Amino acid sequence: TQLLEQSPQFLSIQEGENLTVYCNSSSVFSSLQWYRQEPGEGPVLLVTVVTGGEVKKLKRLTFQFGDARKDSSLHITAAQPGDTGLYLCAGANSYGKLTFGQGTILTVHP
Amino acid sequence: NAGVTQTPKFQVLKTGQSMTLQCAQDMNHNSMYWYRQDPGMGLRLIYYSASEGTTDKGEVPNGYNVSRLNKREFSLRLESAAPSQTSVYFCASLYGTGVIEQYFGPGTRLTVT
């Protein structure tokens, strides 16, 4: 069974601060996805990283896949209240099954 | 395209009652999934269907059954609901070639009293 440890579980910061969320596993994934979920809605895909060492940027969000494809990080620069939400990482195996981290609840205060 | 749709949005059941959660996707995806989401536990896979006509158990299948009615529709049935099945249920679909990306429905919030 593949496990994906996501940290921190909760993050409460002021507008303008930077933050990093981590996902770690002892298993190798064929790809890793990051999702954002707002209350009452389903997770929405933000990005998929596939290659070890890959870095992708989405405006103020930077996603990195570890060289060994066992871990990933999400860095947000100058957080805004609109970034508030639940962030989920999910590792995929070659058969399309996803293993989700526990999630990080981010609150950005104005 | 509506993407992935789920019905109902909310449901309250009494212990022992049965119900079926409906899911449909209009993206011509091969694979479909049912997850449950509980606080602090992320999303856990209940059942999945890699293609029309096939279904397989996920991480937490006990107490649930599924039917892949056709390529578009994948339903989840609770035969005898228990309070432990109080959760938010999400359906997802995936195209399945190349990069793996799942697309989720809006969820069904189920309370079993």
pLDDT at B49: 93
Rounded distance between C-alpha atoms, residue B61 and residue B48, angstroms: 10
Rounded distance between C-alpha atoms, residue B58 and residue B93, angstroms: 15
Of B104 and A93, more confident: B104
Hey, are the CB atoms on B31 and A96 less than 8 Å from each other? yes
Q: Closest partner residue to B103 among A45, A88, A92, by Cβ?
A: A45
Q: Which whole number is the average pLDDT over B28-46?
A: 90
Cβ contacts of B110 within 8 Å, gap of 6 or more: B10, B11, B12, B13, B21, B78, B81, B85, B86, B87, B88, B89
Q: Chain A residue closest to B33 (CA)?
A: A97
pLDDT at A1: 64
pLDDT at A94: 75
∠ CA B10-B11-B16, nearest 5°, is: 160
Q: What are the pLDDT digits (tens) for B50-85?
A: 888 899 999 999 999 999 989 999 999 999 999 999
Q: Give Cα B46 to chain centroid, integer Å.
A: 7
Rounded distance between C-alpha atoms, residue A14 and residue B100, angstroms: 34
Q: What does the DSSP 8-state code read for residue B85?
A: G
Which among A86, A88, A78 has a CA at the least distance from the CA of A14? A78
Rg (CA), chain A: 13
Hey, are the CB atoms on A43 and B96 less than 8 Å from each other? no
- pLDDT band (50, 70, 90) for residue B42: confident
Asked whether the beta carbons of B61 and B71 are under 8 A apart, the reply is: no
Rounded distance between C-alpha atoms, residue A44 and residue B44, angstroms: 16
pLDDT at B23: 97
Q: Are strands B74-78 and B64-68 parallel, antiparallel or unpaired?
A: antiparallel
Is B95 in CB contact (< 8 Å) with chain A?
no
Name every residue in A having a CB less than 8 A away from some CB of B: 1, 6, 9, 30-31, 33, 35, 40-45, 48, 50, 88, 90, 92, 95-98, 100-103
Q: What are the pLDDT digits (tens) for A58-107?
A: 999 999 999 999 999 999 999 999 999 999 999 988 777 888 999 999 99
pLDDT of residue B35 exceeding 80, the answer is: yes
Q: To which residue do tokens 């590792």 refer?
A: A91
Q: Closest partner residue to B94 among A42, A96, A101, by Cβ?
A: A96
Is B2 in CB contact (< 8 Å) with chain A?
no
- pLDDT band (50, 70, 90) for residue B45: very high
Rounded distance between C-alpha atoms, residue A100 and residue A34, angstroms: 10
Rounded distance between C-alpha atoms, residue A104 and residue B98, angstroms: 28
Q: To which residue do tokens 């449950």 refer?
A: B36
